[in-house]
Amino acid sequence: MTVSYKNWRIERDAEGLAWLWFDRCEAATNTLSGEALEELERILQAFDGAPPKGLVIGSAKPAGFIAGADIHEFTALDNPEAARALIERGWRTFNRLAAARYPTLALVRGHCLGGGLELALACRYRVVVDEPGTRLALPEVMLGIVPGWGGMQRLPALIGPALALDLMLTGKGVDARRARRIGLADECVPPRVMENAARMLVVSGRAPRRLPFMQRLLNGPLKAVVAGKARKQAASRVRPQHYPAPFAIIDIWARHDGNALAAEREMAGIFGSQTAKNLVRVFFLQERLKGFGKDGDGVPRRVHVVGAGVMGGDIAAWCALRGMTVTLQDQSVERIAPAIARAAKLYDKKFRGDAKQARFTLDRLIADPQGHGAAHADVIIEAIFENLEAKRELFRSLEARARPDAVLATNTSSLRLEDIAGALDNPARLVGIHFFNPVAMMPLVEVVEGAGADPQALKRAAAFVRAIDKLPQPVKSAPGFLVNAVRGPYMLEALRCVEEGIAPEVVDEALLAFGMPMGPVELVDTVGLDIAVAAGKALAGDAAAEAPQRLLELVAAGRLGKKSGQGYYRWEGGKAVKGAAGSVPDGLAERILTPLLRAAQRCVDQGVVSDAELADAGVIFGTGFAPFTGGPLNFLRQGGFGRRGGAAAPAAVAAAATH
């Protein structure tokens, strides 16, 4: 027997089990709207009167289980009462599910996020499907909010408070196998047996998982100890004035047993906050970037990368990790070997010791010193040193060997695409696919359009970027494109401050206090001082003579930053050794950031990016610009430094919006 609601479908089988399939009406993805929650509550109420032998909840959509609450409804909240009503609706519904007299089970295939995981936690059992798309997470903190429908209570009770807090405070997800290992899932099964596994478990009578004694103590009498440690760890990553949500999660768990409804003081500072509004804006910016790769024709399967240095080798390694067959070309196998070794380390880390999976992935990365793979590739990426004539000569050779429909791309960071493309018989084929270092960590990739570029080639390039799980940022060919054009002036101003006698630690602390993830001096050390000088010459030409003298002296002495163990800082174990910062002069962060703000606006004015939203997106995801601000131009629109200080924006910053 089948009963259908607008967003749910109920099937009762001959054994007395009820199968409840979620199928959000007129949507590609399941999200828990107010309407869907109201229907679920009515369904559960009906089951109370006529209980099934067991209830299995699954998704009728191939796109995943449940992607969370409807974020559009969240953004429409305009007062604390509306926010409380939203929380109360989900809290009440999931408590009814958790209190059911019959056994309940969540059958999780694909993404299970936010409110979706909170629903699964309210079930007695969870079966997860072992396939690449299955991922479980409570990512609310990334939107500046907290899990309000029971997740802060049920997750620590299920897997222990330390691990639960780590997942909630970072928004990190777990795959199906790890979910089973940590106790978040009762079973991890392949797709072909998922329904049988769910059927057997829901009527098994198995006792729900119980935490070990010590974990129960940490969840009870020793809560204060866990909470104190969690606050210290959170404070080492973010500052409460920038990101209040992580600290609210800790307090709500410690003081109210995870009950968001009882935590009125903590919740009042979360919902409706400017941070939450800005982080939701960042979420939509990310979704917009993802959309640029949706209309490419076909999915690339074979990639050929020329240049096995750090950048080229890491691009090749990442493409293989995302399932593509990759050929990596350089002058000899010996030059390629270090890139293969780095890839092996990356795969060991990603697959958490699953040697078989790491080996299969490494098998897709093929050393190709003769460049035979170019003839078969869907995408060819050049990542050799920044020399115009060398690149022109290489592309002449590649064009002769490549398939007519292959994407020809350069990873140049500073040369004009038009100058490189002039070497091709068909210059319109060349596009820029500009990655950032470290490739595995940076989400943004600039897709660069030169004059006269083929629109179809650009679409295929963007589709490739999405296929490797990166964010494509469309930009026009111009010095530095977007990211380097704004980051260069920022780093240069920071180094000028050091040149004037301000300690590097003080400069970095000023920007960390603003909300940047890394100080600009440490960033220069990380990028490499020689690369900073070379990029400056390529981007600024004769103006490179104005580079800070100390920077030039350090490069001349071979003190190139992190990679040499010494730059502006001494580096040990991959970390900068810093002295105490001391007091930060007033206005220092404003001085260093003003060139960045001006450059971002200039990129919009000159058409490097099509609008301010895309400028904000690129600078956030390409440089790490403080996400809680919503991006540099959004920061200016909200008053910039003047808003922080309660006065009118200083002329230097205000000018950034008009130049």
User: Strand 17-22 relative to strand 8-12: parallel, antiparallel, unpaired?
Assistant: antiparallel
Instruction: Report which of 324, 618, 613 is spatially closest to residue 472, judged by C-alpha positions.
Output: 618
Q: What is the pLDDT of residue 210?
A: 87
Asked if residue 181 and residue 55 are part of one domain, the reply reads yes
Q: Residue 656: its pLDDT value, please?
A: 38
Q: With respect to residue 596, please indicate whether it lies within any of the assigned structural domains.
A: yes
Cα→Cα distances 138→90, 107, 600, Å: 15, 17, 33
Identify the CA nearest to 494 among candidates 481, 505, 485, 483: 505
pLDDT band, very low/low/confident/very high, at 79 (cuts 50, 70, 90): confident
- Going by the DSSP 8-state scheme, the letter that residue 141 receives in this structure is G
Burial zone of 265 (CB within 10 Å; 0-12 exposed, 13-18 middle, 19+ buried) = exposed
pLDDT at 469 exceeding the cut of 80: yes
pLDDT tier for residue 267 given thresholds of 50, 70 and 90: confident
Q: Are 536 and 407 part of one and the same domain?
A: no
pLDDT digits (tens, 9 = 90+) for 576-615: 999 998 899 999 999 999 999 999 999 999 999 999 999 9
Regarding whether 573 and 468 lie in a shared domain, the answer is: no
Question: Across residues 182-188, what is the average pLDDT?
Answer: 97
Closest CA to 513 of 397, 641, 607, 388: 641
Percent of the chain past pLDDT 90, that is, above it, reads 80
Q: Count structural domains, the chain.
A: 3
Model confidence over 417-432: pLDDT tens digits? 999 999 999 999 999 9
Distance of alpha carbon 510 from alpha carbon 114, whole angstroms: 34
The CATH number covering residue 162 comes to: 3.90.226.10
Contact 382, 304 (CB under 8 A): no
Identify whether the C-beta of residue 87 lies closer than 8 Å to the C-beta of residue 48.
Answer: no
Omega before 438 within 30 of 0, i.e. cis: yes
Residues 434 and 515 in one domain: no
Of 387, 403, 406, the C-alpha closest to 457 is 406
- Spatial neighbors of 129 by CB under 8 A, at least 6 apart, are 107, 108, 109, 110, 176, 188, 189, 190, 191, 194
**d(Cα 47, Cα 191) in Å, to the nearest integer?**
28
Q: Does residue 601 form part of some domain?
A: yes
User: For position 546, what pLDDT does the model report?
Assistant: 74
Q: What is the pLDDT of residue 652?
A: 36
Q: Domain containing 418 — which CATH number?
A: 3.40.50.720
Query: Same structural domain for residues 488 and 442?
Result: no
> Among candidates 105, 25, 22, which has minimal Cα distance to 66?
22
Kindly tell me if the per-residue pLDDT of 346 is higher than 60. yes
User: Pairing between strand 302-306 and 135-137?
Assistant: unpaired
Q: Which two tokens stand for residue 394?
A: 């290489």
> Is 291 inside a domain boundary?
no
Q: Are residues 74 and 138 in the same domain?
A: yes
* 473 and 488 inside one domain: no
Confidence of residue 646 (pLDDT cuts 50, 70, 90): very low
| Cβ within 8 Å of residue 408, ≥6 positions away | 380, 395, 398, 399, 402, 424, 429, 430, 431, 457
The answer to whether position 93 is within a domain reads: yes
How does pLDDT run across 116-169, given as a tens digit for each residue?
A: 999 999 999 999 999 989 999 999 999 999 999 999 999 999 999 999 999 999
**What CATH number corresponds to the domain at position 580?**
1.10.1040.50
Sign of the dihedral defined by the CA atoms of residues 181, 176, 66, 146, in that order = positive
Rounded mean pLDDT, 60-79: 87
Per-residue pLDDT at 266 exceeds 90 = no
In three-state secondary structure terms, 516 is coil
Residue 647 has pLDDT above 50, yes or no: no
Same domain for 181 and 57, yes or no, is: yes
Looking at residue 540, its pLDDT comes to 56
Out of 451, 477, 503, a domain closes at 477
* Host domain of residue 650: 484-657
Q: Tell whether 234 is covered by a domain.
A: no
Could you tell me if residue 176 is inside a domain?
A: yes
Same domain, 443 and 562: no
pLDDT score of 208 more than 90: no
* DSSP state string for 525-580: HHH-HHHHHHHHHHHHGGGGGGS-HHHHHHHHTT--BGGGTBSSSEEETTEEE---
pLDDT at 437 (0 to 100): 86
One domain, residues 438 and 506: no
Q: Is the pLDDT of residue 6 over 80?
A: yes
Q: Is the pLDDT of residue 541 over 60?
A: no
CA dihedral 519, 631, 86, 45 (to 10 degrees): -80
66 φψ region: left (φ > 0), alpha (ψ -120 to 50), beta (else): beta
Give me the pLDDT at residue 658, please.
34
Q: What per-residue confidence (pLDDT) applies to 295?
A: 79
What secondary structure letter does DSSP report for 179?
Answer: H
Q: Which pLDDT value is given to residue 69?
A: 92
Helices (H), 262-332: 264-268, 274-291, 310-321
Residues in CB range of 164: below 8 A, 6 or more apart: 155, 156, 158
494 domain-assigned: yes
Higher pLDDT, 288 or 542: 288
Predicted pLDDT at 324: 97
Is the pLDDT reported for residue 545 higher than 60? no
Residues 641 and 590: their CA atoms lie apart, in Å, by: 7
Residue 57 reports pLDDT greater than 90: yes
Same domain? For 450 and 514 the reply is: no
- Collapsing DSSP to helix, strand or coil, 476 comes out as strand
Give the C-alpha separation, 384 to 177, whole Å: 39
More confident residue, 543 or 6: 6
Q: Is residue 636 part of a domain?
A: yes
**Which of 477, 507, 531 is the C-terminal boundary of a domain?**
477
**pLDDT exceeds 70 at position 537:** no
Which active-site residues does the annotation give?
413, 434, 446, 484
Rounded to the nearest 5 degrees, what angle is found at the Cα of 76, between the Cα atoms of 74 and 82? Answer: 75
- pLDDT value of residue 513: 93
The pLDDT-based confidence of 209 (bands split at 50, 70, 90) is confident
Least confident of 113-122, 287-296, 620-629: 287-296
Residue 659 has pLDDT above 90, yes or no: no
Q: Pick the last residue of a domain from 477, 505, 534.
A: 477
pLDDT attached to residue 542: 47
pLDDT of residue 82: 81
Mean pLDDT of 393-419: 95
Q: Are 393 and 306 in contact (CB under 8 A)?
A: no
For range 477-504, the mean pLDDT: 94
Question: Model confidence at 651, in pLDDT bands (50, 70, 90)?
Answer: very low
Neighbours of 499 (CB within 10 A): 13
**Is the pLDDT assigned to residue 520 strictly greater than 90?**
yes
Please check whether residues 473 and 494 belong to one and the same domain.
Answer: no
